[in-house]
Amino acid sequence: MTTPARRRAADRRRRVFPFRDVSDPRGFVVLMKAHLEHLKVKGYSDRTVRSAEWSVSDFAVWCQERDVMKPRDVTKPMLERYQRTLFYMEKPDGSPLTLSTQHHRLSFIKQYFKWLARENHLLSNPASELELPKVEKRLPKHVLTATEAEAILAQPDIRKPQGLRDRAILETFYSTGIRRTELSGLSVWDVDGERGTLTVRQGKGRRDRVVPIGERAAAWVAKYVREARPDFVREPDRGFLFLAADGEPIAAKTLSLYVSRYVRASGVAKTGSCHLFRHAMATLMLENGADVRMIQAILGHVKLTTTEIYTHVAITKLKQVHTATHPAALLLPQPKAPERTS
C-alpha cells in the first residue's frame, strides 16, 4: 500500500522547478549547477548534493517570483524574508516545517552564497550573517524495552526464506545499531562471525567503521546466508548480503516498510521502524553500564553531543539512584493513627 508520505516523496521527485532563465552565466541555474559540481568533486554524497539542489532551487524560484534573477541581486533582507516564508510554510498535511528542516534548507543556501563569494561571483556574501533557526534537541519519540524488542524479533515466519531473511535483518539492526542505508549496502564478507564484527563501508559521511555484532545475530545471519540467500540470488551475484526478490540489495525505504509492519504485527504500542532498534541498542547498553564513548564509536557519531541524547533516555540507573537517595521516593506504609479513647 502506498502511504501519503511515499506519494508526497514521489511527487517531490517528479517536480520540475519553473526556472525562467537557464542559460544566463550569472543567473541562479548556471551558478547552481557549478556549485553542485563543486560539491561532487569535494566528495559530498549524492544525497547531500540532491538536498543542496532542492534547497537552492526552491530559493531561486522564490526570488524569480519577485523578479530577482541573479544571485548578485540578493540582499540580506531578502534572505530574512525567505526565512520567514519557511517559518510560516505548511506541508501538504497542514503542519509547519520543523525547525530542523528550516535549518537544513537555509544551511545549504548559506553554503551556496559562501561558495559564490569565494569564487568571486559576488563581491560580498549577503548570507554571511544570516542567523539560522535554533534546532531543537528532541529525545527519541519511542524507545523499545528489551521485552518489546524481542516481541518484534519473533514476528517473521522463519520457515520461509523471506521470514528467515527478515529475522536476520532485525537481529542485525538490534545487535549493531547500524542505519538502514548502511545495512542495505552490506556485503556477505562484511560480517565476520568468528571475530564477532561487522564492517560498515561508506557509512554516513562516507566513513568506514567496524562494530561488534553479537553471537546470536551473527548466527541468524549465517543461517540466512546458508539456507535462504540462495533463493534470492540472481546471477551475476554481486555479493550484497540482504537481497530482495529481484536479486538486488533491499532499498532503505523498503527496509523501513518491512520493519514497520513487524512492529505493528507485534502489538507493541510504539511506532517506528529501523531506527527503533538503533535507539534501543544505544539506550539498553547505556542502562547496562556501557560507556557513552563506546556507544559513540558503535553508532558512528562524529560528535559526542549527538550520542549524549541517549544518556537522557537511559533512565534506569538514574531512577535507581533517585530511589536510593531521595527521602520521598518510596511509598512507605503510613503509621496508624492512635485510637481515641472515650
Instruction: Dump the DSSP string for 241-264.
Output: SSB-TTSSBPPHHHHHHHHHHHHH
Higher-confidence residue: 210 or 342?
Answer: 210
Which of 217, 274, 279, 219 has the alpha carbon at shortest distance from 251? Answer: 274
CATH 1.10.150.130 given to domain 16-118: yes
Higher-confidence residue: 22 or 80?
Answer: 80
Where are the domain boundaries for CATH 1.10.150.130 in the chain?
A: 16-118
Give catalytic status of residue 20 as yes or no: no
What the block records as the C-alpha cell of 272 is 517506528
Range scoring the smallest mean pLDDT among 5-19, 73-87, 93-107, 174-188: 5-19
253, 167 contact by CB (below 8 A): no
Higher-confidence residue: 64 or 1?
Answer: 64
In order of 4, 55, 259, 275, 320, the CA distances from 8 in angstroms are 6, 17, 21, 21, 45
Give catalytic status of residue 310 as yes or no: yes
User: Is the pLDDT assigned to residue 261 strictly greater than 80?
Assistant: yes
Cα-only R_g, the chain:
26
Q: Which of 35, 180, 279, 301 is catalytic?
A: 301
pLDDT given at position 189: 95
pLDDT given at position 303: 83
Give the pLDDT band (50/70/90) at residue 1: very low
Rounded Cα gap, residues 255 and 261, in angstroms: 10
Give catalytic status of residue 179 as yes or no: yes
Who contacts 285 (Cβ-Cβ below 8 Å, separation ≥6)? 294, 295
What the block records as the C-alpha cell of 8 is 508526497
CATH fold group of domain 146-322: hpI Integrase; Chain A (1.10.443)
273, 173 contact by CB (below 8 A): no
Where are the domain boundaries for CATH 1.10.443.10 in the chain?
A: 146-322
DSSP symbols for 187-245: BTTSEETTTTEEEE-S-GGG--EEEE--HHHHHHHHHHHHHTHHHH--SS---BSSB-T
pLDDT given at position 74: 96
Q: Which of 103, 114, 121, 275 is catalytic?
A: 275
What the block records as the C-alpha cell of 304 is 559526542
In order of 76, 241, 292, 326, 329, the CA distances from 322 in angstroms are 51, 45, 21, 5, 7
Rounded Cα gap, residues 70 and 141, in angstroms: 42
Give catalytic status of residue 301 as yes or no: yes
Q: Which of 105, 179, 180, 229 is catalytic?
A: 179
Q: Which of 204, 209, 223, 261 is catalytic?
A: 204
pTM (global) more than 0.75: no
155, 254 contact by CB (below 8 A): no
Rounded Cα gap, residues 149 and 154, in angstroms: 9
149, 174 contact by CB (below 8 A): yes
Q: Mean pLDDT of all residues in the chain?
A: 87
Rounded Cα gap, residues 253 and 260, in angstroms: 11
Q: Is the bond preceding 4 in cis, omega lying within 30 degrees of 0?
A: no
User: Is the pLDDT assigned to residue 237 strictly greater than 70?
Assistant: yes
User: Is the pLDDT assigned to residue 94 strictly greater than 60?
Assistant: yes
